């Protein structure tokens, strides 16, 4: 089982690396493709212990399917947040009342938490300044910005298919 | 067709430049490091991404489009992470954060 | 279109020059780092624009490597400052 898993990880890494090779060589000439395949295979075999960690088991095909929808929703949130921040910055009175808020998230594992903290940084007037365990220290520009966090958390939970603990699920 | 594409690309470039200007203004006006992180991580990212997307529209279907999309995605990830790293180092070095005058400091949910 | 792109690139370049103020004056080291990061982002966009002004595709690779370097530099310096802070506090 362990060796089968290792081969699968190597193959996945090879595919990812080869996709990057294709994008950056920007050609379909056969010698480029052969060279890319050989070098990607070598790199995948040698660095699977280092780069293999990037292939988190939470990245499933379902997550990849939901990713474009998530990106679109996040882009909309980013545009709204930017409009908000631009309004604050261009206001001559500079109406800010910053504070650092502690937020506890129910998201498990590193990857969902990282996605969550990056989304926080990119959206409504909030910047994650510290992430430790399930505790986030969030710097808010205005007190009302804090209210957007729960909705964002729900969005990330939806992306990874995570249910809140203790929440009654509809399908039993 | 080509003219429409140029107009869309130009509009996206103008929006991006506007947000860059806002980001610069914010960087100069804000009172401390933490508040300066806001314009730098939000306005600059959106400005850069919208100029890059505008260039992607301008280039049309080609390999350049793939590269530009990769650069834009990387920028989204990296600027958020950079902002987080800078904020954390400021927090760990106990740089005090700016608060509006005339407010009590013991506000309950502060760190 | 080329003239338009040149004007945009010049405006963004001037923006970056103004941001240098924060990198030079910034009261704390983190402010300077933030200034450098922002100047870097703007330079990256100027490089992307130059690709299309000169119609030289290899500049896009330059832009990507620039983005990678900017990310690594910022995170490395931020982590370094953090470690220094811990030593001071102890």
Give a yes or no: residue B103 inside a domain: no
CATH of residue B30:
1.10.287
Helix (H) or strand (E) holding A159: helix A148-160
User: What's the pLDDT at C90?
Assistant: 38
- SS in 3 state form for A92-125? CCCCCCCEEEEEECCCCCHHHHHHHHHHHHHCCC
User: What's the pLDDT at A164?
Assistant: 67
C64 has a pLDDT exceeding 80: yes
Kindly give, in sequence order, each residue whose CB lies less than 8 Å from that of residue C65, ignoring residues fewer than 6 positions away: none
Nearest to residue B27, comparing CAs of A24, A16, C36, A158?
C36
Give a yes or no: residue B70 inside a domain: yes
**Is C70 in contact with B78 (CB distance < 8 Å)?**
yes
A140–chain C nearest CA distance, Å = 18
Which one of B6, B9, B20 has the shortest CB-CB distance to C15?
Answer: B20
User: What's the pLDDT at A5?
Assistant: 66
User: What's the pLDDT at C73?
Assistant: 92
| Mean per-residue pLDDT pooled into runs of 10, chain A (172 residues) | 66 86 84 90 84 72 84 87 84 78 80 84 78 80 76 82 59 37
Structural domain containing residue B41: 2-92
Domain total of chain B: 1
Neighbour tally for A23: CB within 10 Å: 15
Nearest CA in chain B to A92: B29
Nearest to residue B62, comparing CAs of C32, C51, A120?
C51
Give a yes or no: residue B65 inside a domain: yes
**Residue ranges of the domains in chain A?**
2-54, 61-160
User: What's the pLDDT at A162?
Assistant: 76
C75 has a pLDDT exceeding 50: yes
What is the value of pTM for the model shown? 0.83
Most confident of A88-92, B28-32, C52-56: C52-56
Nearest to residue B49, comparing CAs of B27, B77, B29?
B77
User: What's the pLDDT at C71?
Assistant: 92
B102 has a pLDDT exceeding 60: no
Measured CA to CA, the distance from residue B20 to residue B39 in angstroms comes to 9
Give a yes or no: residue B41 inside a domain: yes
User: What's the pLDDT at A82?
Assistant: 85
Which chain C residues have a beta carbon less than 8 Å from that of A26? 57
User: What's the pLDDT at A99?
Assistant: 79
Which chain C residues have a beta carbon less than 8 Å from that of B82? 37, 70-71, 74-75, 78
**Is A119 in contact with A67 (CB distance < 8 Å)?**
no
User: What's the pLDDT at B91?
Assistant: 83
Q: Using DSSP bridges, classify how beta strands A99-104 and A135-140 pair: parallel, antiparallel or unpaired.
A: antiparallel
Give a yes or no: residue B110 inside a domain: no
Kindly give, in sequence order, each residue whose CB lies less than 8 Å from that of residue A163, ignoring residues fewer than 6 positions away: A157, A169
Map residue A28 onto helix, strand or coil.
coil
Measured CA to CA, the distance from residue C36 to residue C19 in angstroms comes to 8
B21 has a pLDDT exceeding 80: yes
Give a yes or no: residue B13 inside a domain: yes
**Residue ranges of the domains in chain C?**
2-89
Give a yes or no: residue B78 inside a domain: yes
User: What's the pLDDT at B111?
Assistant: 39
């Amino acid at each position: 089982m362990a060796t089968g898993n290792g081969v699968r990880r190597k193959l996945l890494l090879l595919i990812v690396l080869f996709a990057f090779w294709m994008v950056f060589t920007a050609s379909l000439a056969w010698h480029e493709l052969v060279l890319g395949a050989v070098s990607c295979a070598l790199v995948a075999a040698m660095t699977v212990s280092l780069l293999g960690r990037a292939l988190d088991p939470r990245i499933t095909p379902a997550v990849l399917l939901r990713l474009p929808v998530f990106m679109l929703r996040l882009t909309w949130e980013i545009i709204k947040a930017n409009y908000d921040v631009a309004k604050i910055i261009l206001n001559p009175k500079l109406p800010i009342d910053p504070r650092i808020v502690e937020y506890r998230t129910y998201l498990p594992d590193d990857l969902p938490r990282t996605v969550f903290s990056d989304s926080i940084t990119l959206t409504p007037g909030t910047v994650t300044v510290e992430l430790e365990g399930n505790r986030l220290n969030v710097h808010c520009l205005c007190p009302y910005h804090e209210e957007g966090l729960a909705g964002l958390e729900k969005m990330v939970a939806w992306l990874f298919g995570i249910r809140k603990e203790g929440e009654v699920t509809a399908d039993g | 067709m080509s003219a429409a594409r140029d107009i869309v690309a130009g509009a996206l470039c103008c929006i991006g430049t506007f947000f860059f200007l806002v980001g610069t203004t914010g960087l100069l006006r804000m009172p401390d490091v933490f508040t300066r992180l806001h314009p730098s991580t939000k306005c600059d990212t959106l400005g850069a991404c919208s100029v890059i997307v505008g260039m992607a529209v301008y280039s049309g279907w080609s390999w350049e489009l793939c590269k530009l999309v990769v650069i834009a995605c990387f920028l989204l990830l990296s600027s958020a992470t950079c902002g987080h790293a800078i904020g954390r180092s400021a927090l760990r070095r106990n740089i005090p954060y700016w608060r509006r005058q005339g407010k009590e400091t013991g506000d309950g949910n502060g760190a | 279109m080329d003239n338009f792109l040149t004007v945009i690139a010049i405006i963004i370049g001037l923006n970056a020059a103004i941001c240098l103020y924060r990198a030079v004056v910034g009261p704390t080291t983190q402010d300077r780092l933030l200034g450098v990061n922002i100047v870097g982002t703007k330079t990256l966009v100027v490089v992307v624009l130059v690709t299309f002004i000169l119609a030289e595709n290899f500049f896009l690779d330059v832009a990507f490597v620039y983005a990678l370097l900017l990310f690594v530099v910022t995170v490395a310096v931020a982590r370094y400052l953090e470690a220094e802070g811990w030593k001071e506090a102890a």
